[in-house]
Structure 1
Amino acid sequence: MASHQVVKLVQQIALPIVQEAGIELVDVEFLKEGGRWYLRIFIDKPDGISHEDCRFVSERIDRLLDEKVPISHSYSLEVSSPGIERPIKKLEDYSRFKERSAVVTTFVPINGRKKFSGRLMGTRMGNVVIDIDGTELCIPLEQIASARLAGEL
């Protein structure tokens, strides 16, 4: 099964489990590093993720993975917080993290660049607004390749 198919299935399985626990599903990755496969599930909640939260999600998902996700090779399951440089995946996250420093990368150059560091200013008419040294830049959401929170500028 292709990696993107595994990610999609795991997201479908994980979402009700984390929602029931009052936790947000931030991201799922299924990738090969150093010759080993890893299935990583990133979770978060407003007051932070505890070891107990990770254990709860890991145990609940582990049982369902064996039943519902046909992965033919061995892999390691990791459940953790997304960390300080958390990825921004959902439209509402751009407003949720307004005023926070972020790094946004685009698929195509905008004003000759593809990487922008600045302060998130939310969304406006389908665009993500980022303040770069006092100048607001509107980036069409569909042009964003990746975005993550960053340390203070």
Structure 2
Amino acid sequence: MSNNVTETTGELVQPILKELNLTLVDVEFEKEGQNWFLRVYVDKDGGVDIEECGLVSEKLSEKLDEEDPVTYPYFLEVSSPGAERPLKRKEDFEKNINNTIYIKLYEPLDGEKEYEGILKSFENETVTLEIKIKTRKKEMEIPLRKIAKARLAVTFN
């Protein structure tokens, strides 16, 4: 159910985003407590403002009412992905070379399921991540298919 709602929402929002020169970052449909939330994350170079999110929300709400992919009450939220934006597409990884990212894996690699480090490269469906182990740095290659979730990581130096 959740997957179908996110796919349908993604398809419905694309023409709206194209018209406004925005990019779809992610769509989530999750239950929190007793409420369902349909969250749409949009962005553009330089970031999006609240007016743009409001406009997308209005137009998308109309489309969702027409198509009716969700048959029970939910809250629609349209927002910017923020500082810790998810990395979903190949372009997301390519655009964030030399940035610090967090990766969660489906299964352990070198005994760990979570890594944070500097994204050094993305080639041939493989992420090269520079991680720090105590005082030394190590580069590790992680196949994209093993990544359950990836996002930018905010670091404080």
Rounded to whole Å, the distance in 2 between the matches of 1:81 and 1:34 is 23
Q: Does 1:138 align with 2:141?
A: yes
Number of the residue aligned with 2:92:
93
Residues 98-145 of structure 1: per-residue CA shift (max 9 Å, x gap): 111110011111111110100112312220111112321111011100
Rounded to whole Å, the distance in 2 between the matches of 1:125 and 1:31 is 32
Cα RMSD, aligned residues only:
1.1
Q: TM-score, normalised by structure 2?
A: 0.92
Rounded to whole Å, the distance in 1 between the matches of 2:129 and 2:14 is 29
Q: CA deviation at 1:21?
A: 1.1
Number of the residue aligned with 1:66:
65
Q: What is the percent sequence identity of the aligned residues?
A: 39
Rounded to whole Å, the distance in 2 between the matches of 1:83 and 1:117 is 18
Q: TM-score, normalised by structure 1?
A: 0.95
- Closer, same or farther in 2 for the Cα pair 1:122/1:92, shift >3 Å? farther
- Residue 151 of structure 2 aligns with an amino acid whose one-letter code is R
Number of the residue aligned with 2:2:
3
Number of the residue aligned with 1:83:
82
Count of equivalent residues: 152
What runs of 5+ residues in structure 1 fail to find an aligned partner?
Answer: none
Rounded to whole Å, the distance in 1 between the matches of 2:78 and 2:28 is 11
Greater than 3 Å deviation, 4+ residue runs: none
